[in-house]
Every structure is written in C-alpha cells, then in structure tokens.
Amino acid sequence: METKLFKEMTSDEQLRYVSDLTSFVDEKLPVLEKLGDAWELSHRKDMETGLQLIAAFQFARDFVDKALRYGDYSARVYRLRMYFNKIKEEIARGNSFKASDGKTYAVVPPAAPQAPRRGRPASAATIARREAEAEAAKQQTEIPIPAMPQIENKLHLNQLAWLCSDDTARAIETVQKLRFTSEAASERAKLLAEQGAAPEVIEPYAKEAADAIEAYQSIYAAVDTDLATVWYRLQNDEPYRERFVKRFKGVDLIQVGRICRPYYDKVKSPEFDLRMKTLIEQESPEFVARQKEDAAKKKEVQDILRYLKRKDKGPSEARVKTAKEKFHRLEELLGKKEAADYKPLVRKIEDDFKAMKKADKD
C-alpha cells in the first residue's frame, strides 16, 4: 500500500490531503456516482484516485485492496461517499493543525455541488443491483473462517489456489484480467449503443464481455469443485489424506476442513457424491490391481484369438493340440458360453489337418 496513513503525515501533507479530498468529493465523486453503466478509462482513473485517498485510513484499506484487485468499480463506487463521510468525521475530531507557514488551518466539511450530468443516472434499481453484484462477488471470492489463528479471517481466490488443481490454480491468476475485460467491453458496448452505433459495431464488444464473464465464472465453478473435492476426500479417503499431509507438511487438517466445507455444501448432490466415491474407488490399490488383472486378461484373450486366426501356419498335429489347449484357456478366461463363439476357429484348424492327412493318403 503506497498511500501514507493520514496520522503519519506531516502537517503540510495533511493540508494537501484535505485539499485533494475536498476537490475529489466536490468535482469527481458526483460524476462517478451518476455514471450508471457508462464508465470509460478516464472514470476508472478517477475512481483509483478516490481509492488512493481513502487508503489513508486503515479502516478503508480492505475495501481498497478488493476494489483494486477485482476492478469492479461500477459496483463499488456507491460506497465511496460513505468512506469519505467517515474520513471527514475522523479528521474533524482534531481538526485544526499548523502548516509550515505558521498558520492554523481548520478542516471545514465541503458541500458537494451538483456536477454536470454524465451518462445515464443510476436508478434505485440499478443501485440495488450494484449492491447485489458486489455482495455476490464478495461471496464468490472469500469465505469467513472462524477460530483460525494461523490464517487470515477471509481468504481470496489467490489464497485458495494451493488447495486447487494445477489447472485451476493457473486459471485463478487470470480472473482479475477477465473481470476487467468484461467490464471494459460491456461499458464500451453500452456507450456505443447510447450513441446509436450499428449492431455490427456493438456486437464484438458485447461478445468479448460475455466471453470474459463466462470464463471467470467457470473458474469460480472450478474452485468450488476443487475445494469440495478436497473436503470430501479428506473425510472419506484415508490414502488421499495421508498423501495430503505428506505433501503439505505441517498442515492443519481442521483448518483445511473449515476452509473447504462451505464449498462442499455449495456443490453437494447425489451426483457429486457418486463421482467422488467412484474417484476414490478408482484410485484405491484394489481397483488398480483389478485394472492390471483385467488388462492382463484382455491381452491374453487377444493373444489366443490371434493364434487361432493365424493363416501363416500350415496344418499340423502340434497346431491342433496347441489350438485345443489355448481354447480351453479361453473358456477359463471368458467362460464356456462366451468362448463358444470362437469354437469354429478350432474346428477349422482340425478340419484343415484332417484334409491334409486325407490328401497325403490319396
């Protein structure tokens, strides 16, 4: 965090801060609040200026971190004024200070004038939607962890990556970029629509936004599934639990369970549980041994049939004997009923040998 805390600033720095704060609240904030969905790059820069200002107070830094991380400014701008009002209250408690010119300055809360209207005004429904979107984004990217002294109270996607598959962990690194892409493309499409642009001009931006949203939502779903899988297997798969502890030395399984349980609760279903049971069974030593046995049996059957179908060997008594022995083994492997389908192959070998003997006598 680059912004210095207000309480650590010199008197001159505090004076400049109050001036910048007043200018932002008077000039920039009203514009941002009325943008609706018509955000452009310049507005994003103004929003980041506002975030840097409120970051001068510790109570705002968590909000600032999330806003900068996710880039969902249109869903968060409505909360800026709340932080600015609280900051003005904090400053107003001690709120005269001497600057380097020897003069004493008092902080007077400014009255915010009406700024020129930019874009569509935000309706009550739009504000409610933004609040819902912000809350949904928060729920998707963090979970509360009770009684967890070794880890933070709330975890973000990047803090969950170590519990995910390698593919999901790599995908998590792209979420912020995808969210920014979706928002920027959506804003561009809406602005073009307001300006009366042709559908074929708008369509590429709308598609880019939709594709980015679909991409990061699929990553959220993958995180849900991966963490639900970890919880289920830690509860029901002893070999997996042993491998987990060995891989992450010193890990607290109780903490991991608390992290992952909400994700299992989110995705659990009879289908999910069956998939987990099947996965556990397929990785069990018994299943692996059975697979090897089945593969060996399949290869032996194929070798026998290949021998019985060979045409490069002439008829002989030894071939007849070997064919009968191999067919007997085929009955053991497949059962007499299924092996009976291949009995004609043995008869053909016998018939060929009889025909050869008869020809020799003649």
Please determine, for residue 327, whether its predicted confidence score (pLDDT) is greater than 80: yes
DSSP code of residue 98: E
Q: Cα angle at 141 between 32 and 73, to 5 degrees?
A: 10
* Across 22-31, 187-196, 216-225, 232-241, least confident range: 187-196
- Local structure of 351: helix, strand or coil: helix
Predicted structure pTM score: 0.44
Note the pLDDT of residue 75: 81
Mean pLDDT in residue range 250-265? 92
CA neighbours closer than 13 Å in the CB half-sphere of residue 320:
14
Please check whether residue 320 is in contact with residue 353, taking contact to mean a CB–CB distance below 8 angstroms.
yes
Query: Cα 267 vs. chain centroid, distance in angstroms?
Result: 14
Q: Is residue 276 a contact partner of residue 233, using CB atoms and an 8 Å limit? A: yes
**Section 315-329 average pLDDT:** 90
- Collapsing DSSP states into helix, strand and coil, what is residue 95? coil
Q: Check pLDDT > 80 for residue 80.
A: yes
> How many residues make up the chain in this entry?
362
Mean pLDDT across 309-325: 88
What pLDDT is recorded for position 110?
A: 35
- The answer on pLDDT for 100 being more than 50 is no
Question: For residue 51, is pLDDT > 90?
Answer: yes
How far, in Å, are 153, 168, 262, 273 from residue 231 at the CA level? 19, 16, 9, 11
Residue 116 scores a pLDDT above 70: no
For residue 144, what are the β-bridge partners?
A: 154
Residue 37 vs residue 199, higher pLDDT:
199
Q: What is the pLDDT of residue 93?
A: 66
The amino acid at residue 68 is: L
Three-state secondary-structure class, residue 94: coil
**Residue with tokens 């009923």, as numbered in its chain:** 337
- Rounded mean pLDDT, 163-177: 92
Q: How far apart are CA 247 and CA 270, in angstroms?
A: 30
Q: pLDDT band at 221, cuts 50/70/90?
A: very high
Q: Dig out the tokens for 354 from the structure.
A: 């009889």
Strand ranges, E, within the chain = 96-98, 104-106
**CA 33 to CA 116: how far, in whole Å?**
12
By the 8 A CB rule, do 34 and 115 touch?
yes
Given a cut of 70, is residue 346 above it in pLDDT?
yes
